[in-house]
Protein backbone atom coordinates (compact mmCIF):
# COMPACT_ATOMS: atom_id res chain seq x y z
CA UNK A 1 0.00 0.00 0.00
CA UNK A 2 2.78 2.46 0.95
CA UNK A 3 4.42 1.85 -2.41
CA UNK A 4 1.12 2.30 -4.26
CA UNK A 5 0.49 5.57 -2.44
CA UNK A 6 3.94 6.87 -3.38
CA UNK A 7 3.36 5.88 -7.02
CA UNK A 8 -0.05 7.56 -7.06
CA UNK A 9 1.35 10.73 -5.48
CA UNK A 10 4.18 10.80 -8.04
CA UNK A 11 1.69 10.40 -10.91
CA UNK A 12 -0.41 13.26 -9.53
CA UNK A 13 2.70 15.45 -9.18
CA UNK A 14 3.77 14.75 -12.77
CA UNK A 15 0.31 15.06 -14.35
CA UNK A 16 -0.52 18.12 -16.40
CA UNK A 17 -4.23 17.32 -16.65
CA UNK A 18 -5.61 15.11 -13.88
CA UNK A 19 -9.30 14.22 -13.71
CA UNK A 20 -11.15 12.57 -10.82
CA UNK A 21 -13.97 10.15 -11.66
CA UNK A 22 -16.27 9.21 -8.78
CA UNK A 23 -19.07 6.75 -8.07
CA UNK A 24 -21.40 6.00 -5.19
CA UNK A 25 -18.52 4.60 -3.07
CA UNK A 26 -17.15 8.05 -2.28
CA UNK A 27 -20.39 9.02 -0.54
CA UNK A 28 -20.85 5.80 1.45
CA UNK A 29 -18.90 7.29 4.36
CA UNK A 30 -21.29 10.27 4.27
CA UNK A 31 -24.09 7.81 5.05
CA UNK A 32 -25.46 7.40 1.51
CA UNK A 33 -25.68 3.74 0.53
CA UNK A 34 -24.60 2.57 -2.93
CA UNK A 35 -27.26 1.10 -5.20
CA UNK A 36 -25.58 -2.23 -5.90
CA UNK A 37 -23.34 -4.52 -3.90
CA UNK A 38 -23.27 -5.19 -0.15
CA UNK A 39 -25.68 -2.88 1.71
CA UNK A 40 -26.91 -1.55 -1.64
CA UNK A 41 -30.22 0.25 -1.81
CA UNK A 42 -31.62 -2.06 -4.50
CA UNK A 43 -31.29 -5.04 -2.17
CA UNK A 44 -33.97 -3.38 0.02
CA UNK A 45 -35.95 -1.17 -2.34
CA UNK A 46 -37.52 -1.93 -5.74
CA UNK A 47 -36.01 0.70 -8.09
CA UNK A 48 -39.02 0.86 -10.45
CA UNK A 49 -40.20 4.13 -8.85
CA UNK A 50 -37.41 5.90 -10.75
CA UNK A 51 -38.23 4.44 -14.14
CA UNK A 52 -39.34 7.32 -16.33
CA UNK A 53 -42.44 5.51 -17.68
CA UNK A 54 -43.65 4.62 -14.19
CA UNK A 55 -42.96 8.16 -12.94
CA UNK A 56 -45.05 9.68 -15.74
CA UNK A 57 -47.85 7.18 -15.21
CA UNK A 58 -48.00 7.68 -11.43
CA UNK A 59 -46.10 10.84 -10.43
CA UNK A 60 -47.64 10.98 -6.97
CA UNK A 61 -46.72 7.39 -6.08
CA UNK A 62 -43.20 7.75 -7.46
CA UNK A 63 -42.69 11.10 -5.76
CA UNK A 64 -43.61 9.66 -2.32
CA UNK A 65 -40.76 7.17 -2.65
CA UNK A 66 -38.39 9.74 -4.20
CA UNK A 67 -38.98 12.20 -1.36
CA UNK A 68 -38.49 9.56 1.29
CA UNK A 69 -35.29 8.12 -0.19
CA UNK A 70 -33.55 10.97 -2.00
CA UNK A 71 -34.59 13.96 0.12
CA UNK A 72 -35.78 13.06 3.65
CA UNK A 73 -33.19 10.35 4.11
CA UNK A 74 -29.96 11.28 2.40
CA UNK A 75 -30.59 14.07 -0.01
CA UNK A 76 -29.36 17.49 0.96
CA UNK A 77 -32.38 19.78 0.91
CA UNK A 78 -31.09 22.73 2.89
CA UNK A 79 -28.54 22.84 5.67
CA UNK A 80 -30.25 21.77 8.84
CA UNK A 81 -33.63 21.24 7.19
CA UNK A 82 -34.08 17.65 6.12
CA UNK A 83 -31.42 15.60 4.43
CA UNK A 84 -28.48 14.70 6.59
CA UNK A 85 -25.64 13.76 4.26
CA UNK A 86 -22.60 16.01 4.41
CA UNK A 87 -19.34 15.86 2.41
CA UNK A 88 -16.67 13.64 3.92
CA UNK A 89 -12.86 13.78 3.97
CA UNK A 90 -12.64 12.27 0.47
CA UNK A 91 -14.86 15.00 -1.05
CA UNK A 92 -12.87 17.67 0.81
CA UNK A 93 -9.54 16.09 -0.19
CA UNK A 94 -10.52 16.15 -3.87
CA UNK A 95 -11.57 19.80 -3.58
CA UNK A 96 -8.18 20.54 -1.98
CA UNK A 97 -6.38 18.79 -4.86
CA UNK A 98 -8.26 21.01 -7.31
CA UNK A 99 -7.55 24.18 -5.30
CA UNK A 100 -3.86 23.26 -5.28
CA UNK A 101 -3.90 22.89 -9.09
CA UNK A 102 -3.30 19.10 -8.97
CA UNK A 103 -6.74 18.20 -10.36
CA UNK A 104 -8.45 19.94 -13.26
CA UNK A 105 -11.97 18.45 -13.15
CA UNK A 106 -14.24 15.99 -11.37
CA UNK A 107 -16.61 13.77 -13.32
CA UNK A 108 -19.14 12.33 -10.91
CA UNK A 109 -21.85 9.75 -11.41
CA UNK A 110 -23.30 10.87 -8.08
CA UNK A 111 -26.37 13.02 -7.78
CA UNK A 112 -25.83 14.12 -4.17
CA UNK A 113 -24.10 17.49 -4.73
CA UNK A 114 -21.44 16.62 -2.14
CA UNK A 115 -18.46 17.50 -4.37
CA UNK A 116 -19.86 20.98 -4.89
CA UNK A 117 -20.58 21.33 -1.15
CA UNK A 118 -17.00 20.35 -0.39
CA UNK A 119 -15.73 23.13 -2.66
CA UNK A 120 -14.96 21.40 -5.97
CA UNK A 121 -15.55 23.89 -8.78
CA UNK A 122 -15.19 22.03 -12.06
CA UNK A 123 -17.77 19.29 -11.54
CA UNK A 124 -19.34 17.41 -14.43
CA UNK A 125 -22.62 15.84 -13.30
CA UNK A 126 -22.86 12.74 -15.46
CA UNK A 127 -26.21 11.64 -14.05
CA UNK A 128 -27.57 15.06 -13.03
CA UNK A 129 -28.15 16.41 -9.53
CA UNK A 130 -30.91 15.69 -7.00
CA UNK A 131 -30.55 19.20 -5.59
CA UNK A 132 -32.37 20.65 -8.61
CA UNK A 133 -35.90 20.11 -9.92
CA UNK A 134 -36.71 20.24 -13.63
CA UNK A 135 -40.08 21.25 -15.08
CA UNK A 136 -41.11 18.71 -17.71
CA UNK A 137 -43.32 21.35 -19.38
CA UNK A 138 -41.26 24.57 -19.66
CA UNK A 139 -37.77 23.17 -18.94
CA UNK A 140 -37.16 25.59 -16.04
CA UNK A 141 -34.83 24.40 -13.28
CA UNK A 142 -35.02 25.36 -9.62
CA UNK A 143 -33.27 24.44 -6.41
CA UNK A 144 -35.20 22.01 -4.20
CA UNK A 145 -36.83 23.66 -1.21
CA UNK A 146 -38.71 21.82 1.54
CA UNK A 147 -41.89 23.83 0.86
CA UNK A 148 -41.87 22.61 -2.77
CA UNK A 149 -42.07 19.05 -1.51
CA UNK A 150 -44.84 19.72 1.02
CA UNK A 151 -47.44 18.52 -1.48
CA UNK A 152 -46.73 15.73 -3.92
CA UNK A 153 -46.24 15.66 -6.79
CA UNK A 154 -44.70 19.16 -6.98
CA UNK A 155 -45.68 21.45 -9.85
CA UNK A 156 -43.91 24.36 -11.53
CA UNK A 157 -45.60 27.78 -11.48
CA UNK A 158 -46.36 27.10 -15.20
CA UNK A 159 -48.43 24.07 -14.17
CA UNK A 160 -45.94 21.49 -15.45
CA UNK A 161 -44.88 18.43 -13.44
CA UNK A 162 -41.53 18.77 -11.63
CA UNK A 163 -39.04 15.92 -11.71
CA UNK A 164 -35.69 15.64 -9.88
CA UNK A 165 -32.98 16.81 -12.27
CA UNK A 166 -31.17 13.47 -12.24
CA UNK A 167 -31.60 10.83 -14.85
CA UNK A 168 -34.12 8.07 -14.31
CA UNK A 169 -33.95 4.58 -15.76
CA UNK A 170 -34.94 4.90 -19.41
CA UNK A 171 -33.45 8.39 -19.87
CA UNK A 172 -30.27 9.41 -21.70
CA UNK A 173 -27.16 11.08 -20.29
CA UNK A 174 -27.34 14.91 -20.36
CA UNK A 175 -25.71 15.90 -23.67
CA UNK A 176 -23.39 18.56 -22.30
CA UNK A 177 -22.12 16.32 -19.49
CA UNK A 178 -21.43 13.55 -21.98
CA UNK A 179 -19.56 15.91 -24.32
CA UNK A 180 -17.50 17.46 -21.52
CA UNK A 181 -16.65 14.02 -20.12
CA UNK A 182 -15.37 12.83 -23.50
CA UNK A 183 -13.31 16.02 -23.78
CA UNK A 184 -11.79 15.49 -20.33
CA UNK A 185 -11.06 11.83 -21.09
CA UNK A 186 -9.26 12.87 -24.28
CA UNK A 187 -7.19 15.58 -22.57
CA UNK A 188 -6.32 13.81 -19.33
CA UNK A 189 -2.95 12.26 -18.63
CA UNK A 190 -4.18 10.94 -15.27
CA UNK A 191 -7.55 9.60 -14.11
CA UNK A 192 -8.17 9.05 -10.40
CA UNK A 193 -11.17 6.73 -10.01
CA UNK A 194 -12.79 6.73 -6.57
CA UNK A 195 -15.53 4.32 -5.41
CA UNK A 196 -16.93 3.18 -8.74
CA UNK A 197 -17.75 -0.39 -9.70
CA UNK A 198 -17.33 0.23 -13.42
CA UNK A 199 -20.62 -1.58 -14.03
CA UNK A 200 -22.80 1.39 -14.92
CA UNK A 201 -23.07 2.17 -18.64
CA UNK A 202 -22.15 4.42 -20.36
CA UNK A 203 -20.28 6.12 -17.48
CA UNK A 204 -17.83 3.23 -17.18
CA UNK A 205 -16.59 3.94 -20.71
CA UNK A 206 -15.08 7.28 -19.68
CA UNK A 207 -12.00 5.97 -17.81
CA UNK A 208 -11.58 3.29 -20.50
CA UNK A 209 -11.49 6.03 -23.15
CA UNK A 210 -8.98 8.02 -21.08
CA UNK A 211 -6.77 4.95 -20.78
CA UNK A 212 -6.95 4.34 -24.54
CA UNK A 213 -5.82 7.96 -25.08
CA UNK A 214 -2.76 7.40 -22.90
CA UNK A 215 -3.89 8.45 -19.41
CA UNK A 216 -2.61 6.58 -16.37
CA UNK A 217 -5.35 5.21 -14.11
CA UNK A 218 -5.19 5.27 -10.32
CA UNK A 219 -8.06 3.52 -8.58
CA UNK A 220 -9.31 3.78 -4.99
CA UNK A 221 -11.91 1.22 -3.93
CA UNK A 222 -12.74 -1.07 -1.02
CA UNK A 223 -12.57 -4.00 -3.41
CA UNK A 224 -11.50 -4.82 -6.95
CA UNK A 225 -13.78 -3.47 -9.65
CA UNK A 226 -14.13 -3.67 -13.43
CA UNK A 227 -11.47 -0.93 -13.59
CA UNK A 228 -8.85 -2.78 -11.56
CA UNK A 229 -7.44 -4.87 -14.46
CA UNK A 230 -6.70 -1.70 -16.47
CA UNK A 231 -5.52 0.43 -13.51
CA UNK A 232 -1.85 1.35 -13.20
CA UNK A 233 -2.15 1.71 -9.43
CA UNK A 234 -4.87 0.13 -7.27
CA UNK A 235 -5.25 1.52 -3.75
CA UNK A 236 -7.51 -0.70 -1.69
CA UNK A 237 -9.37 0.87 1.22
CA UNK A 238 -11.96 3.42 2.27
CA UNK A 239 -12.04 6.59 0.15
CA UNK A 240 -11.74 8.99 3.11
CA UNK A 241 -8.56 7.33 4.38
CA UNK A 242 -6.81 6.89 1.04
CA UNK A 243 -7.66 10.29 -0.43
CA UNK A 244 -6.52 11.83 2.88
CA UNK A 245 -3.18 10.02 2.68
CA UNK A 246 -2.68 11.10 -0.93
CA UNK A 247 -3.38 14.73 -0.06
CA UNK A 248 -0.90 14.51 2.85
CA UNK A 249 1.75 12.93 0.65
CA UNK A 250 1.43 15.84 -1.74
CA UNK A 251 1.86 18.26 1.16
CA UNK A 252 -1.53 19.90 0.56
CA UNK A 253 -3.39 21.41 3.53
P1 LIG B 1 -21.08 2.25 -8.28
O2 LIG B 1 -20.50 1.97 -9.59
O3 LIG B 1 -21.17 3.67 -7.92
O4 LIG B 1 -20.26 1.36 -7.17
C5 LIG B 1 -19.96 1.69 -5.89
C6 LIG B 1 -18.49 1.28 -5.64
O7 LIG B 1 -18.04 1.91 -4.45
C8 LIG B 1 -18.26 -0.23 -5.45
O9 LIG B 1 -17.24 -0.64 -6.34
C10 LIG B 1 -17.80 -0.36 -3.99
O11 LIG B 1 -16.83 -1.38 -3.81
C12 LIG B 1 -17.19 1.00 -3.74
N13 LIG B 1 -17.18 1.45 -2.35
C14 LIG B 1 -18.14 1.28 -1.42
N15 LIG B 1 -17.80 1.91 -0.28
C16 LIG B 1 -16.59 2.48 -0.49
C17 LIG B 1 -15.71 3.27 0.30
N18 LIG B 1 -16.01 3.63 1.57
N19 LIG B 1 -14.54 3.69 -0.24
C20 LIG B 1 -14.21 3.35 -1.51
N21 LIG B 1 -15.00 2.61 -2.32
C22 LIG B 1 -16.19 2.19 -1.81
O23 LIG B 1 -22.42 1.54 -8.27
P24 LIG B 1 -23.85 1.77 -7.68
O25 LIG B 1 -23.84 2.00 -6.21
O26 LIG B 1 -24.64 0.65 -8.20
O27 LIG B 1 -24.41 3.10 -8.36
C28 LIG B 1 -25.01 3.12 -9.61
C29 LIG B 1 -25.13 4.52 -10.10
O30 LIG B 1 -25.97 5.31 -9.27
C31 LIG B 1 -23.79 5.20 -10.11
O32 LIG B 1 -23.77 6.09 -11.15
C33 LIG B 1 -23.80 5.93 -8.81
O34 LIG B 1 -22.90 6.97 -8.79
C35 LIG B 1 -25.26 6.36 -8.68
N36 LIG B 1 -25.53 6.49 -7.24
C37 LIG B 1 -25.30 7.69 -6.67
C38 LIG B 1 -25.42 7.86 -5.33
C39 LIG B 1 -25.09 9.21 -4.76
O40 LIG B 1 -25.37 10.22 -5.42
N41 LIG B 1 -24.46 9.25 -3.61
C42 LIG B 1 -25.81 6.78 -4.50
C43 LIG B 1 -26.06 5.55 -5.12
C44 LIG B 1 -25.90 5.41 -6.50
For domain 2-249, the CATH architecture is 3-Layer(aba) Sandwich (3.40)
Instruction: State the pLDDT at residue 83.
Output: 57
Counting from 1 in the atom list of ligand 1, the atom nearest the Cα of 32 is 41
SS (H, E, C) 152-171: CCCECCCCCEEEEEECCECC
First to last CA, the chain: 22
Instruction: State the pLDDT at residue 145.
Output: 85
Residue 17 annotated among the catalytic residues of the structure:
no
Cα(213)–Cα(185) distance, rounded to whole angstroms? 8
Task: Give the distance (Å) from ligand 1 centre to CA of residue 157.
Answer: 35
Cα(162)–Cα(59) distance, rounded to whole angstroms? 9
Instruction: State the pLDDT at residue 73.
Output: 65
Counting from 1 in the atom list of ligand 1, the atom nearest the Cα of 74 is 41
In contact, 239 and 211? CB cutoff 8 Å: no
Q: Does the beta carbon of 22 sit less than 6 angstroms from any atom of ligand 1?
A: no
What is the pLDDT tens value at each position of the chain, 253 positions in all? 789 999 999 999 999 999 999 999 999 999 888 888 777 888 888 889 999 999 999 999 999 999 988 887 665 545 444 457 889 999 999 999 999 999 999 999 999 999 999 999 999 999 999 999 999 999 999 999 888 899 999 999 999 999 999 999 999 999 999 999 999 999 999 999 999 999 999 999 999 999 999 999 999 999 999 999 999 999 999 999 999 999 999 999 7
Element holding 65 (H helix, E strand): helix 59-66
**In angstroms, how far is CA 229 from the centroid of its own chain?**
22
Whose CA is closest to 244, among 96, 105, 116, 85?
Answer: 96
Q: Are strands 123-125 and 105-108 parallel, antiparallel or unpaired?
A: parallel
* Nearest CA residue ID for atom 8, ligand 1: 197
Instruction: State the pLDDT at residue 226.
Output: 97
What are the extents of the domains in the chain? 2-249
Amino acid sequence: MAEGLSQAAALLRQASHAVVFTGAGISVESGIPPFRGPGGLWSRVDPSFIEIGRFLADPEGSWRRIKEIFYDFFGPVEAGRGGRARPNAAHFGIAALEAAGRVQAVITQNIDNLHQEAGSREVIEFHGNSRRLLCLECGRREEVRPERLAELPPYCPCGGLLKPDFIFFGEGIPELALKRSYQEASKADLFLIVGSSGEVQPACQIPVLAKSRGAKLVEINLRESNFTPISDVFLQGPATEIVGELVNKLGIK
